[in-house]
Amino acid sequence: MTSSPLHALSGSAGVGRRPAPGQRHHILSVLVENKAGVLARVAGLFSRRGFNIYSLAVAPTDEDEHFSRITIVVDVESAPLEQVIMQLDKLVNVVSIDELSPAEAVERELVLVTVAVGPTERSQVIQLVGVFGGEVVSVGADRITVMLAGRPEKIDDFEGLLENYTVEELQRTGRVALPKLERH
């Protein structure tokens, strides 16, 4: 989750498993008023109605910070998408909802990983980060922290390859998404 001026995330929305490749998930891009408790209202609604959230990212959209955009990856196995959208739309602080199907959206995510590295692993990990187009963001005596931004599947692959090393900490942001632009 990106840093957010929205107040505390109270009420636990069902945070489900990662959508497997090909599994039905949808991205909701929800424009909300940037007011106290709005995130709690959104999360509470998902929890109350039994809808599962896979990931969620929040940040203000404009300079005045009147509005925020919440990008929610919804597990549509848990409830019909129309119900999720209709119920969300009833929240007074929700201004608009765009549904982005994975085929019609660009999705990006960022991951930070701290890996324990001996002298031999250090260069291997740095090389791997280079291949994926990531960055080394912090270096210690016996571990390094690296960053990678990209499509969620790419992050999955990167995470998979890092399993050969000792991952001390790993933090993903959850996806953000916007509609794909038409070519013509």
Partner 1 sequence: MTGAQALIKSLEMQGVDVMFGLPGGAILPVYDPIIDSSIRHILVRHEQGAGHMAEGYAMATGRPGVAIVTSGPGATNIVTPLANAYMDSTPLIVVSGQVATGSIGTDAFQECDITGVTMGITKHNWLIKDVDDIPRVVAAAFHVATTGRPGPVLIDLPKDISNATMEWYWPSSVDELDLPGYHPVTFGDPVLVGQAVELIAQARRPVFYVGGGVLKARASEALRVLAERTGIPVVTTLMARGAFPDSHPQALGMPGMHGHYTAVTALQKSDLLISLGARFDDRVTGKISAFAPEAKVIHVDIDPAELGKVRIPDVGIAGDCRLVIEEMLLAMEGERPLVQDLAPWWHQINQWRERFPLYYEDVEGGPIKPQNVVEQLRDASAEDTIVVAGVGQHQMWASQYWKFEHPYTWVNSGGAGTMGFAVPAAIGAKMGRPDRTVWAIDGDGCFQMTAQELVTASSEQIPVKIAILNNSYLGMVRQWQEMFYEERYSEVYLSPDLPDYVKWAEAMGCVGIKAETPEDVGPAIEKANSIDDRPVVVDFRTDAREKVFPMVPAGASNDDIVVHPDQLAAR
Structure tokens at 11: 């009420």
Residue 179, Cβ density class (10 Å: 0-12 exposed, 13-18 middle, ≥19 buried): middle
- Within 19-80, strands assigned E span 25-33, 52-60, 67-75
Site string for partner 1, 66-95 (x = CB under 8 A): --------------x-xx--xx-xxxxxxx
Q: How far is the CB of 83 from partner 1 (least distance, A)?
A: 6
Cβ-based neighbour number of residue 91 at 10 Å: 17
Q: How far is the CB of 44 from partner 1 (least distance, A)?
A: 5
Structure tokens at 9: 């995330």
Q: Looking at 1, 15, 16, 33, which residue binds partner 1 (CB under 8 A)?
A: 33
Site for partner 1 in 126-165 (CB under 8 A): none
Residue 41 found at the interface with partner 1 (CB under 8 A): yes
SS3 22: coil
Total residues contacting partner 1 by CB under 8 A comes to: 24
100-119 in b/e burial notation, b at 16+ Cβ within 10 A?
bebeebebebbbbbbbebee
Q: What is the largest CA-CA distance in the chain?
A: 56
Q: Which is nearer to partner 1, 26 or 143 (CB)?
A: 26
Q: Which is nearer to partner 1, 40 or 126 (CB)?
A: 40
Q: Which is nearer to partner 1, 49 or 108 (CB)?
A: 49
Phi, psi at 150, each rounded to 5°: 170, -170
Q: How far is the CB of 62 from partner 1 (least distance, A)?
A: 13
Q: Looking at 36, 106, 161, 170, which residue binds partner 1 (CB under 8 A)?
A: 36
Which residues are at the interface with partner 1 (CB under 8 A)?
Answer: 10-11, 32-33, 36-37, 40-41, 44-45, 48, 80, 82-83, 86-87, 89-96
